[in-house]
Amino acid sequence: MSKETERKGWMGLLARAPAAEVHRLWSESGLAPDHAYLRAPEVGGVMVRGRAGATGAAFNLGEMTVTRCALQLSDGRVGHGYVQGRDKRHAKQAALIDALMQGAEAAMIRTQILTPLTEAETSRRQTRAARAAATKVDFFTLVRGED
The pTM of this model reads 0.83
pLDDT for residue 136: 80
Q: Helices (DSSP H) in the chain: which residue ranges?
A: 3-16, 19-29, 88-100, 106-109, 115-134
Tens digit of each residue's pLDDT (9 = 90 or more) over 35-72:
999 999 999 999 999 988 878 889 999 999 999 999 99
Side-chain-side CA neighbours of residue 95 (13 Å): 29
Q: What is the rounded distance in angstroms from the CA atom of residue 117 to the CA atom of residue 9? A: 12
The overall average pLDDT reported for the chain is 92
Residue 131 has pLDDT above 90, yes or no: no
pLDDT at 116: 96
